[in-house]
Structure 1
């Protein structure tokens, strides 16, 4: 029977199906690695979650470790992509810093799987990230933007001079990461619900006070 114009060609459907399959695999792998770490993750469960044949995972990603790296790279792409939407270069320097602090805090709360992946990769001493040809270049625009914000703030007489944008970003991320990564033990030790709505607002306010207290000139 002749092919009608509305009938898709196999060559046209394959790339789209391949993209969808890889997305499903990466989505499933993210949940598996976040739940079980690299050592505890099982390719059988990833295949079942993604509703694909396990052989297809190996066809696209070759090994569990390569799949883990692909998940890590995708996770970093996600957070860096959302950071670009903050338009830090288009607002005044103090507002830019407030936006970055609030975004980092809320992103970590909304994406606990990201923190789980970071914890796993740190256990492996960044062995997988060192193989990546993409991750370092993803971070360059963020560092450049933050450096530009700091320079604008200094020229306006708002910020102190000589602030390292990498150190500042690590401090902002660390203020959120340590609190959220240890909230269960800290809540128990201090007998306080550190993840209640009021406590989270207090923490965000405290982080703003700490960072801007350091940056803003008297």
Structure 2
């Protein structure tokens, strides 16, 4: 757990390798993206300790040497997966164009997006759960994750301020707390779907159940902030 996480490296211009690696280095960004995609699933299923670079290499048709070249270590790859997962969510979130919507409608869209993202991204949820099991040890070493999450708070702060000014949201709600409430409700829906579903005999992967749960969460959040 105390191993050093190495930074990702890019191959030097004109770098050439032999065998199956030669053609893949022609498009290093695509190769790295493929590795990250497979690694996300591997870490989600087995956690950091149980994941195997051999399995990731076999699934991507890349060699272990290539993976270590790009990411330095298994821990470096794990951290890169965390960063890529947060980056993908925040980049999509930035495309919602909430500024052009009335405050309540904008908040509704944000909650719906967060719910939908988590619902279709169980590997992301599981990796975040795994990092919490690590007590945030590897995330603390990231130079980008904290900055990646700054825009969502700024978005919520601006959206909420517009709602207060319009008289539709009550004053006194902390933007970080509002973000935590949205995250908690939508994250739980995936993180606890198996245990909660077994206990209460409800299939949270069922589309009808998901639609009803989505509507309930949206209403909960809107009622929480309404004036």
TM-score (norm 1): 0.90
Following superposition of structure 1 onto structure 2, how do residues 61-140 of structure 1 map, counting pairs within 5 Å? Answer: 61-140=71-150
Q: Does 1:161 align with 2:171?
A: yes
1:81-136: CA deviations, max 9, x gaps? 11001111221100111001110111111111100110110000011110011011
Gap regions ≥5 residues in structure 2 = 1-12, 17-22
Residues 27 and 50 in structure 1, CA contact (< 8 A), matched pair in contact too:
no
Computed over aligned residues only, the root mean square deviation of the Cα atoms, in angstroms, reads 1.9
CA distance in 2, matches of 1:14, 1:33: 23
Residues 24 and 31 in structure 2, CA contact (< 8 A), matched pair in contact too:
no
2:200 to 172, 190, 198: 190
CA distance in 1, matches of 2:218, 2:32: 39
CA distance 1:29–1:157, shift in 2 (3 Å): same
CA distance in 1, matches of 2:187, 2:24: 41
1:169-206: CA deviations, max 9, x gaps? 11111101112211122122122333322221211111
1:146-173: CA deviations, max 9, x gaps? 1000000000011011211111011111
Q: Does 1:27 align with 2:37?
A: yes
Which residue number corresponds to residue 54 of structure 2? Answer: 44
How many residues were matched structurally? 209
CA distance in 2, matches of 1:185, 1:208: 23
CA distance in 2, matches of 1:148, 1:20: 36
Residues 25 and 31 in structure 2, CA contact (< 8 A), matched pair in contact too:
no
Indicate the structure (1 or 2) with the bigger Cα radius of gyration: 1
CA distance in 2, matches of 1:213, 1:17: 49
1:2-38: CA deviations, max 9, x gaps? xxxxxxx957999743223222221221121122111
CA distance in 2, matches of 1:28, 1:170: 29
